[in-house]
Amino acid sequence: MTNPRTATEAGSTEIQDDRAAVKDDDLVPGPAVDARDQVVRGRGSRIVGIAISTFLTLYVIWTLAPFYIMITSSFKAKGDAFSLPAEGDWGGAAEKLIAFTPTTQHYTDLFAQGEFERYFMNSLIAALSSAIISVVFGTTAAYAISRGRFRGKKDLYFWIISTRMAPVVAVTVPLYAIFKNFQLLNTLPALILAYTVFNLPFAIWILKGFFDAVSYEIEEAYMVDGHSRWQALWKIIPLVAPGLAAVVVLCVLLAWNDFIFAAVMGGEAAKTLPVATQGLKSASGIEWGQIMAAGMVTVAPMLLLGIVIRKYMVQGLTMGAVKQ
Amino acid sequence: MAVNTAARGTSAGVDPSGPNKPTPRRYLAPLLLPAVILLALLSIYPFVWLIYMSFNAVGLAPGAPNEFVGFDNWSRMFSDSQYWESWGILAKYSVVSMVLEVGLGTLLAILLNRSKHEKLLITILLMPMMMAPVVAGLLWQYLYNGTFGWYFWILRSLGLLDEGTILGSSDIALWAIVAVDVWEWTPLVALIVLSGLKLVPQDQMEASWMDGAGPVRSFFQVALPAIKGSLMIAILLRFMDNIRIIDHFIALTGGGPANSTKILPLYLYEQSFSFFELGYGASIALTLLLVTILFGKLVVNRFEEREENPAKKDEELV
């Protein structure tokens, strides 16, 4: 929870650094600005530099402001703290945004109902189980696709990827009917299977890239030494370990952040955090402080994970288009 | 940061066209089948069910029989004006948010590429993407709120909003959701484009500057051709996600006011799980799937093109 806040602070120091950088540019040309350029358009490039810093600063504010309001609102007492200043009263607005007495009331209220821990555990179990299933099955399949040559490989690969791209609602319709027949509705296994629809193809896709990058000679050396192919596969697992960890985290992220599956098939018994957070809204009168607190509980763990595996996050979110 | 293209064939002296020696057939089955069977159960089996459902009135009570209705669901769909309107709203929403995200994202990528604080900025940009979309929707609903919302207050204070609330006006609500999408996903476009920019040799850029081309022209002459592939992937992924994920809409408007934000996947959600017209929902779902598969084919072709393009092979930085 403190993490986004430190990031906010980091953001503001960053902004100052950037201004300093612009001044430096006058002496030391940046990578894309060569010396001649400095001579010809010295003043112009300074203006460009300021424009760039301003744009980046504004973009950082635009990105972080909702986080700031979410965090502060989750610690604001009911009533007056939530009121807005008169329209156009910018001074009053700044004061309202910064000065307030923090309270953990919304968090204690949230957990005092006694159900929120359960929703948290549901989210965790569903996300982790699906991630583990996807990584285990995904590893062997990705290895086979990476190393194997067989007819229909392209079609198989396309089928796997297109499954990952299917619209969530379109998948939910038949799964709902099927799970109803098997009496799986409102259970965690239903959610775990549903998340695996998207996580397994994702795991195969990303892990194939990691196996492609491992030289076959390494396995060959093991097999020459008398290991079986299975043992050789086992031996190269450490080489793709970063990939495995990244895929687990990304699968957890995808499942944790899901709303549709859990809302339709989870019911009360398998309610997850996003559904519970949205559920707070329909109660009589919207208690924004509490919703923001619930949102924080939902978002904070993923923010932490995201920052820990930052470089793989980029790769995963871009479906492997970006590799670090 | 380098692009996936480089993943193959970079490891010592391996022939890039077929990076590794084939695994003997007898190993393929036990390696592949578990995943393939599981995925088939979770995707092909439901797909067949979906087709079956689209020709039935699906019974709701436990054990209730389905009733075969022929093409009723399909003819209903083709004459359903809301269905077509929802396609239109989806197209409008997707095109506008895509244009904004690609424009802003490309600009961001160019600036990030030059910035000394690239790592920190990327970390900040990643943050919105970690947020559960439904929570992002709720957060923005709060920001837009006519009584407590800071963004509502700012718009009013700047004189940009004369009357009504943001989400309550049918001519603004869709654009308000576009803003949320831009907030959460522009960084994704920026990061994909950034990966393409990393492949542009710095000296080429500089040479173009030396020729007096200026930043804008050298961008179009040197950088744009190089990042075309990345841009295409970003655009396709964003289009697909706009069809895939409707959480923002559910949290922010639920399709209102006056159906002005009812994009097709949301209409499908409503028909299937508010009115429990599962047979009708199945028909809509199949048309959505068809479009997705076409888009998917385009995406995969793009990825393969990148993997097969030998000019970009040696760029990996690890």
State the complex-level ipTM. 0.86
Residue with the larger pLDDT of the pair A278 and B4: A278
**Nearest Cβ partner of A310 from B22, B123, B156?**
B123
Neighbours of A6 (CB within 10 A): 9
pLDDT at B73 exceeding the cut of 90: yes
- Chain A hits for B34, CB-CB cut-off 8 Å, are 137, 140-141
Residue B145 CB-half CA count within 13 A: 18
Determine the pLDDT at residue B202: 72
Closest residue of chain A to B182, computed from CA coordinates: A63
Closest CA to B43 of A196, A130, A266, A152: A196
Q: How confident is the model at residue B58 (pLDDT cuts 50, 70, 90)?
A: confident
| Maximum average pLDDT range among A96-110, B97-111, B206-220 | B97-111
The one-letter amino acid code at B250 reads I
Q: Tell me which DSSP letter residue B17 carries.
A: T
Neighbours of B160 (CB within 10 A): 8
CA distance readout (Å), B163 to A86, A89, A92, B142: 16, 19, 22, 18
What's the rounded Cα separation, in Å, for the pair A320 and B4?
6
For an interface test with A, give the residue of B10, B33, B39 to mutate (most A CBs within 10 A): B39
Determine the pLDDT at residue A319: 65
- SS3 sequence, A50-98? HHHHHHHHHHHHHHHHHHHHHHHHHCCCCHHHHCCCCCCCHHHHHHHHH
CATH number of B4-20+80-315: 1.10.3720.10
Determine the pLDDT at residue B95: 93
Residues 99-128 (A) with a CB less than 8 A from some CB of B: none
CB contact under 8 A, A66 and B143: yes
CATH of A108-317, one of 1.10.760.10, 1.20.1730.10, 3.40.1030.10, 1.10.3720.10: 1.10.3720.10
Tens-digit pLDDT profile for residues A28-56: 444 444 444 444 445 667 888 888 899 99
Q: How much is the average pLDDT of B167-178?
A: 93
**What are the structure tokens assigned to A100, written together?**
């307030």
Q: How much is the average pLDDT of B181-199?
A: 90
- Chain A hits for B6, CB-CB cut-off 8 Å, are 323
For chain A, which residues score pLDDT lower than 50?
1-41
Outline which parts of chain A fall under CATH 1.10.3720.10.
108-317
What's the rounded Cα separation, in Å, for the pair A254 and A198?
9
Residue B296 CB-half CA count within 13 A: 20
Q: How confident is the model at residue B24 (pLDDT cuts 50, 70, 90)?
A: low
Tens-digit pLDDT profile for residues B125-163: 999 999 999 999 999 999 999 888 999 999 999 988 888
What distance in Å separates residue A39's CA from the closest CA in chain B?
12
Q: What angle do CA B106, B107, B112 make, to 5 degrees?
A: 95
Determine the pLDDT at residue A7: 41
Which residue has 């790592």 as its token pair? B119
**What are the structure tokens assigned to B276, written together?**
């429990």
- Chain B hits for A160, CB-CB cut-off 8 Å, are 39
Task: Tell me if chain B has a CB within 8 Å of the CB of A216.
Answer: yes
Closest residue of chain A to B292, computed from CA coordinates: A166
Min mean pLDDT across A242-256, B165-179, B291-305 is at B291-305
For an interface test with A, give the residue of B127, B217, B240 to mutate (most A CBs within 10 A): B127
* Terminal Cα distance for chain A, rounded: 27
- Chain B hits for A144, CB-CB cut-off 8 Å, are 23, 27-28, 31-32
Task: Tell me if chain B has a CB within 8 Å of the CB of A141.
Answer: yes
What's the rounded Cα separation, in Å, for the pair A27 and B140?
43
Residue A98 CB-half CA count within 13 A: 6
